[in-house]
Structure 1
């Protein structure tokens, strides 16, 4: 039935209708709440499924002189035991440099490195058997810290350097400078769902791998190489992850490859599920950073030059340390124009887990160093740190070139002056600063601190070719829509946003569109869901596919109903053409009978990107996300305990695709970043064993650590770049917002001596670290001037 519209009504309804920009629920929210969302370990096991476990090294650096696995083979339920010699293809799972064996072959380089694979009839039998191995070692010297790696010049990659201007000359003439050392610890991803892979042999040497991964295509390549096959033999599928945070970008490869090797050898399905302790012992984390820094400035606090030497704890292999170091170098400036710089980074080789991607991917580690120096400049000049930050912000076009980054990218979208002014006003920053100063004067034990810190974060992979994505959109004869794309869902809402994009493009309600599991046999050669690019890339690809179908349907509608194709509108589940409102499914059915193609592939590659790794210059980012946060804390100077009293965050999500999801991402990133900087301490003993490998010893934030007063808002903005519906990424950038918490703690500690002493506070700022800083400040403040 045709539905005519009154003149002008079509435009009005089209303008009012939208499937994007609304706070829609997560597409799996109901399944999550009901416990019906299927994760890899929930998939019904096929008959004959076996279970695997890894045997792990007990030494940090050693040669294996003997490995007796007879007791393992004889253990109850064991069907097979495999070592490096049993791998049919390549014994490697390194994502860039091939220095990361699946199973150690004669040399172990950290405590927890996999030595062999046990396959048994149950998960419990496999794990018990793995502990029966008798391994003899010839121990070798071990390097455990980035400081030790720097001293020994032990690196997994050549050190990198980015220089602009003449930092040495600027330092020589500068009236003031601050210098020092800083250590910022790493962080365990602590996804709720551990590493897991389920490998199922198929006919003709085929292998299906169901696994929890952020990078199905890389898992496909690793498994194919390990089995000595081509990529077309391997299909990798992931419907959802129970968290990833970067820990399932490259690190899921070991588990996928090991399960597939066993399945190929035994011709039976094999599941490899990591126990939490084993997971934390085996897998890499956020990189620890050791800094030596020096910053020159004038009497007003304007930065004149900066030097920093950053050493990462890369671990025993390269993994993704090179790109992490590159992003750290490119984010040392954070929100500030630095005219003359000498920025160096080195990936220290240590006998610890090979560190890897983690939300922010080196950006937070790079940016915190300049914030630490600014905090010291403010204290030296007896000024509010916010004023020093505002003074040094990037400028706009025409402001004496103060909008060009050290690596040469021109900043054209800077909204920080307006954003920070809005947050300063809405948070009552100045009044609260005065109130806190008065509180501290009257409170000898409990001290409050306040800080407002900004962020600028570049969006794109800093390896240009990774900035591409594909998608498939199928419209069925009944008018329902199925979407598949290369991004992976880890709770962040990428499927929800892509679903919204497709629904909007076709003018449909969300319930008429369905997303299927990410699958390498559907969309090939995909990039990792990482670098905050998931919705940007895959949303654009899905939009491209849906647009092609819409254009075909519009052309068909005009052919049969008149009008002009460019004036056909899709909204409210109808196709509006030549004054008529036709039900979407009606046109689809008629188009099918007329042999109109109702499915399409879509593709997107981010334009305008470039990067020269040798000179460390170029245009590596599509755009920047901005934000700022204010944190107020109280510190007990007798115990080092502290509490976050209030947090205000303002984040630039551009024209948000889904404000509810984006605000949730900001909140989650804030608390996760706060954990990194305050409670989540990784500790290796002198033998190189990670001792914080379980919830009992590794302290992530709990609900009680969230502030009672937590105010998160999205800054009203529209991306200047042609991103998906002019939105901006929200995955990684907000992790820099809790810098405000760390510097509020430092502010509280500084008040112990009337802000006359620089508190020596490293991260994580645990209660012990805070108490050490308090004692140092008290001792320095008591000395005669």
Structure 2
């Protein structure tokens, strides 16, 4: 024994495809979400009143008709906030909860209606009479970049070597711009919160949030209370994808305000149109690049400027654009590199976290560069990618000066290319295209190297609370949140493995700030890494006590006490877990423990742009084959093969599900999901009727997904697993580049199509016409 219970480990529980802990409840409708919590008789409902200008001074706000509407109990404005009317997660004073004299985007929260019914609250909110004085509005990234915009926070520079000189001295150079659009999170459960007032100012808030601790702090801040009077709880979310990391805070605060001011429970559930109109999206980027390279397709230097539309407030735009820089190399080594961010403020929704957190946008630029080099040299794009990957010898330093210790991108790509017969299929696609007038086929294979950890170092910590009851059942609580990804299931599996228990003997309870305080958001793909290790820490404390007790009680060496699925072996005897626990209880052994974990080895100096912001990298590769109709611009994903690195997977079925879902969501972002604002700044794609996401019919006709085998994490993560939340999203880029490959056939593969995203049918037709003109000229 080493004091933490490591000697008493059993190999059951993890690395098994255990079903999702709430699967039965999901499919039978028994899973409880915020709006399913039984309503008390005196429940009030809250609905927001929204700005109808992109940027304006509020000359007058007449709410008399709102207050007079039958069923309305109260109307809340900024003047009614007892604490501070600010909910910015990063920049103090940057984001008022309710507008104060000026509005900054179409859909900003002006006031909130509290009524006896949801219908009354929503109807009354439309009766406000608002007089505006319009102010200049910046709606697009182009407008912001043309000198009219200001930055949200600071531009960040990341460099290594003399990139301008390396580019200048290279045998060949090229410059270009890649544009990638934004994306709506489109979680199935919209933003929702339920607040229950208690005695002496206590407030209990049930929120669909990925960051209960931050929501707790925001509610306390707005109500003018200490954090110990506010408890935030979340059993599960119906999806989050980052859209509930910070943007759930406003709605929890409004529900809590209503409950505090009226003394009655209050619930807020946004209508889908309001949800999409109010909340932020994935940042759209325009990335300018210049690259120097040689005849062999080897990169000599890269110079990039990554500009993003951030919206009206900072939110998380600084960290998002920073991470775009961190991933602008993807799997490739740049001998000299300079990367700079430009996070622009605009009069649109405040863009926020979204699966990948800026990483996919940066990776999109890296992949465009590889394609550009391939067309310029006449090489196969896969060969250009393979030649430029990191290695562990000399080509192993990132733009942020971190050493890549596990460069396996090349091996993963080569294995996938061989397994899916990439080169034969590429030749077949080209033969097909020579004889086809309207349908063209394309194929592409792209990698992903994704850094795992929060780049804000202090978020790399987690807590957990584990109870063992005298009947041998176990209750686990941790600071992570469940949004369908299976985090709770993996925590159950950890307890099963360590104690040697069946699934039905371990229970996960709702995440609550009242049990595990000061938690980090469930984001950055770190949910299982952080919380799993915290749960393990708590369990091993209990096991250490149980092992010490058993050794003394039965007079055997500690190393002979082993937890097995069939019971606990104590010397030559086999004792049931329940019997051991009961005996320990009678001997007054503590059967509860609080666990904690902080990610080791990481460091980051934002001033110098140097450090080790990530504990490790997750890898993978995807090969996509598509068909494109040149008459309509419509396209179909014919086949996708993915090989993904999950380390020693905790649950292969859940991880493969994450890879499949991440790929489809990534492909949707790049091919069909298009956000459109009109000239007034109003979001026109604000409902399923106007915003298209992938449907079942959009999935690949052939879809092969495998996890990389015998590839445990080099780092000491939870049982040597790797994160699988965000990295698979990047696999969607294979579809964009396969579409590009298909379009390249129009001018006989002489030039890079430079297909921007989203590659909607309209965008494909525009690109096709440009290539036809080039071929004719």
The interval holding the TM-score normalised by the smaller chain is over 0.9
Task: Quote the Cα distance in structure 2 between the aligned partners of 1:599 and 1:356.
Answer: 38
- 1:635 and 2:631 correspond: no
Q: Contact conserved, 1:509 with 1:573, CA < 8 A, in 2?
A: no
Matched ranges for 1:542-557 at <5 A:
542-557=535-550
Tell me which residue corresponds to 2:110. 115
Tell me which residue corresponds to 1:648. 641
Q: CA deviation at 1:47?
A: 2.1
Q: CA deviation at 1:415?
A: 1.6
Match of 2:120 among 122, 125, 136: 125
- 1:486 and 2:453 correspond: no
Q: Contact conserved, 1:757 with 1:781, CA < 8 A, in 2?
A: no
Match of 1:173 among 166, 169, 172: 169
Tell me which residue corresponds to 2:4. none
Q: How many pairs are equivalent? A: 767
1:295-350 CA-partner distances (Å, limit 9, x unpaired): 11001100001111111111000000011011111100000001111101011000
- 1:231 and 2:227 correspond: yes
Q: CA deviation at 1:160?
A: 1.0
- 1:184 and 2:180 correspond: yes
Matched ranges for 1:605-620 at <5 A:
605-620=598-613
Match of 2:518 among 516, 525, 541: 525
Q: TM-score, normalised by structure 2?
A: 0.98
Q: Which moved further from structure 2: 201-210 or 758-767?
A: 758-767
Match of 2:132 among 127, 134, 137: 137
1:631-673 CA-partner distances (Å, limit 9, x unpaired): 0000001111000000000100000000000000000000000
Task: Quote the Cα distance in structure 1 between the aligned partners of 2:369 and 2:235.
Answer: 44
Q: CA deviation at 1:414?
A: 1.7
Match of 1:729 among 714, 723, 733: 723
1:367-405 CA-partner distances (Å, limit 9, x unpaired): 110101111110111111000000000011xx3x21111
SS at match of 2:200: coil
Tell me which residue corresponds to 1:25. 19
SS at match of 1:505: helix
1:709-759 CA-partner distances (Å, limit 9, x unpaired): 000000011000000000000000100011100000001011111011221
Task: Quote the Cα distance in structure 2 between the aligned partners of 1:414 and 1:575.
Answer: 41
Q: Contact conserved, 2:444 with 2:738, CA < 8 A, in 1?
A: yes
Q: Contact conserved, 1:757 with 1:780, CA < 8 A, in 2?
A: no
Q: Contact conserved, 1:451 with 1:747, CA < 8 A, in 2?
A: yes
Q: Contact conserved, 1:157 with 1:346, CA < 8 A, in 2?
A: no
Task: Quote the Cα distance in structure 2 between the aligned partners of 1:373 and 1:415.
Answer: 21
Cα 1:627–1:736 shift into 2, 3 Å = same
Q: TM-score, normalised by structure 1?
A: 0.97
Q: Contact conserved, 2:144 with 2:345, CA < 8 A, in 1?
A: yes
Q: CA deviation at 1:168?
A: 1.5
Matched ranges for 1:68-147 at <5 A:
68-98=62-92, 99-147=94-142
Root-mean-square deviation (Å): 1.0
SS at match of 1:737: helix
Task: Quote the Cα distance in structure 2 between the aligned partners of 1:394 and 1:243.
Answer: 35
1:200-252 CA-partner distances (Å, limit 9, x unpaired): 10001000000100000000000000000000010000000000000000000
1:477-528 CA-partner distances (Å, limit 9, x unpaired): 0000000000000000000001101111111112110000000000000000
Q: Contact conserved, 1:189 with 1:246, CA < 8 A, in 2?
A: yes
Tell me which residue corresponds to 1:6. none
Match of 1:326 among 322, 327, 350: 322
Tell me which residue corresponds to 1:59. 53
Match of 2:618 among 616, 625, 635: 625
SS at match of 1:204: helix
Tell me which residue corresponds to 2:371. 375
Q: Point out where structure 2 has 5 or more consecutive residues left out of the alignment.
A: 1-7
SS at match of 1:499: helix
SS at match of 1:208: strand
SS at match of 1:324: helix
Tell me which residue corresponds to 1:197. 193
Match of 2:37 among 43, 54, 71: 43
Task: Quote the Cα distance in structure 2 between the aligned partners of 1:681 and 1:321.
Answer: 20
Match of 2:443 among 431, 440, 450: 450
Task: Quote the Cα distance in structure 1 between the aligned partners of 2:151 and 2:167.
Answer: 29
Task: Quote the Cα distance in structure 2 between the aligned partners of 1:413 and 1:28.
Answer: 35
Task: Quote the Cα distance in structure 2 between the aligned partners of 1:108 and 1:598.
Answer: 54
Q: Which runs of 4+ in 1 moved over 3 A?
A: none
Q: Contact conserved, 2:154 with 2:318, CA < 8 A, in 1?
A: no
Tell me which residue corresponds to 1:565. 558
Tell me which residue corresponds to 1:296. 292
Tell me which residue corresponds to 1:534. 527
Tell me which residue corresponds to 2:401. 408
Tell me which residue corresponds to 1:514. 507
Match of 2:748 among 749, 754, 758: 754
Task: Quote the Cα distance in structure 1 between the aligned partners of 2:416 and 2:445.
Answer: 9
1:263-306 CA-partner distances (Å, limit 9, x unpaired): 10000001011000000000001000011111110011000011
Q: Contact conserved, 1:675 with 1:701, CA < 8 A, in 2?
A: yes
- 1:257 and 2:269 correspond: no
SS at match of 1:387: helix
Q: Contact conserved, 1:469 with 1:486, CA < 8 A, in 2?
A: yes
Q: CA deviation at 1:615?
A: 1.4
1:150-205 CA-partner distances (Å, limit 9, x unpaired): 22241111211111111121122111112112211000000000000001100010
Task: Quote the Cα distance in structure 1 between the aligned partners of 2:411 and 2:160.
Answer: 28
Q: CA deviation at 1:573?
A: 4.5
Tell me which residue corresponds to 2:760. 766
- 1:356 and 2:356 correspond: no
Q: Contact conserved, 1:760 with 1:776, CA < 8 A, in 2?
A: no
Tell me which residue corresponds to 2:269. 273
